[in-house]
């Protein structure tokens, strides 16, 4: 596989609007005013280029990722052929917002990207995908970092509904300087144990 890529700036009015709106929403969500050195969106033309950029054969569901100050998304014109997702404008908008939310997460936590359920859960919640995706009936797997796409966004949404989004930000910011077991930080912030019972009890309320 080649290691050479050609990148060109590619003004796109539709994507600019999506980007500007997403950044505004995420500034608000994360209480960050991101002005300088903002994340860049790179549109990747096809699956072959995704595989080359990631230096591995990627599954067809993978249509976006983030890397430092860049977010990469599969071109919408290749969605139907090169991904397992049907293309809709609404989902594409949320995909870009999801990847940008990862960039904000890094800023909020001082560069951390773990645990995976928190990393993905916050992006799924902040992007609005949680409202569009099917909600699980119970939480069973996300804390073990499996099935995070099904459960983690909903878990973050329930936490915020019950305790407010400020607490979630407090958790992320606290993580910046925290060392040790993440469940201790979670307990400090929420006065709750980090386990499935905690999250399942939020569903009923």
> Which residues are at the interface with Zn ion (CB under 5 A)?
120, 123
- Rounded Cα distance between 92 and 85, Å, is 10
Token pair recorded at residue 77: 């014109």
Residue nearest to Zn ion (CB): 123
Nearer to Zn ion, 63 or 202 (CB): 63
> Nearest approach, Cβ of 41 to Zn ion (angstroms)?
14
Token pair recorded at residue 83: 């991904």
Nearer to Zn ion, 50 or 198 (CB): 50
Nearer to Zn ion, 136 or 198 (CB): 136
**50: nearest Cα among 60, 40, 41:** 60
Please state, as a whole number, how many other Cβ atoms lie within 10 Å of the Cβ of residue 196.
17
Nearer to Zn ion, 160 or 200 (CB): 160
Token pair recorded at residue 12: 């796109």
Ramachandran region, residue 158 (left: φ > 0; alpha: ψ -120 to 50; beta: rest): alpha
> Nearest approach, Cβ of 149 to Zn ion (angstroms)?
8
- Rounded Cα distance between 202 and 37, Å, is 38
The DSSP output letter for 62 is -
> Nearest approach, Cβ of 123 to Zn ion (angstroms)?
5
> Nearest approach, Cβ of 98 to Zn ion (angstroms)?
6
Nearer to Zn ion, 120 or 151 (CB): 120
> Nearest approach, Cβ of 130 to Zn ion (angstroms)?
12
């Amino acid at each position: 596989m080649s290691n050479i890529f050609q990148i060109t700036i590619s003004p796109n009015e539709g994507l600019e609007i999506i980007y500007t709106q997403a950044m505004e929403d995420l500034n608000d969500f994360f209480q960050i005013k991101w002005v300088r050195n903002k994340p860049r969106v790179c549109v990747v033309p096809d699956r072959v280029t995704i595989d080359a950029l990631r230096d591995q054969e990627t599954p067809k569901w993978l249509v976006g990722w983030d890397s430092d100050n860049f977010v990469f998304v599969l071109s919408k014109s290749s969605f139907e052929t090169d991904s397992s997702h049907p293309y809709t404008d609404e989902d594409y908008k949320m995909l870009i917002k999801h990847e940008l939310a990862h960039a904000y997460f890094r800023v909020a936590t001082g560069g951390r990207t773990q645990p995976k359920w928190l990393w993905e859960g916050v992006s799924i919640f902040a992007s609005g995908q949680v409202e569009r995706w099917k909600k699980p009936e119970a939480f069973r797997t996300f804390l073990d970092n499996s099935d995070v796409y099904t459960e983690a966004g909903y878990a973050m949404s329930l936490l915020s509904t019950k305790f407010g989004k400020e607490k979630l930000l407090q958790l992320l910011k606290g993580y910046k300087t925290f060392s040790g077991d993440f469940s201790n930080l979670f307990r400090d912030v929420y006065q709750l144990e980090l386990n499935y019972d905690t999250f399942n009890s939020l569903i009923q309320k």
